[in-house]
Amino acid sequence: MSVNVIALATINPDEKESARIYSEQAKSVVNAYGGKASGRYSTLYKFTGCEAPQVTLVMEFQNAESAKSCFESPEYQNLLAIRDKGFLDMKIYLAE
């Protein structure tokens, strides 16, 4: 059964280039593990909650195992430093 990975992100305005580099490289890793972006959305309005993310990205994977393998892979783990530099906040969830 296919699953979705949902990323909620707020870009660091002082590190937009780092965010761009991370996004390009993360896309390659996701693709290598069979994932594909199925939607990218900007937050228009917050109805409830604390801080709203600037961007919501939805990615589709064939199954939970391939999604977990992707985000636990050495290739993705190598991107964590630039991700943390380029984004003020990043939350990534697996949803079914």
Q: Is 75 helix (H, G, I), strand (E, B) or coil?
A: helix
Q: What is the pLDDT of residues 43-84, one digit of tens each?
A: 999 899 888 999 999 999 999 999 999 999 999 999 999 999
**Gap between the Cα atoms of 84 and 22, Å rounded:** 9
Predicted structure pTM score = 0.91
Domain count, the chain: 1
DSSP state of 2: -
Give CA–CA dist 87/8, Å, rounded. 10
Provide the CATH number for the domain around residue 32.
3.30.70.100
Structural domain span for residue 29: 3-43+51-95
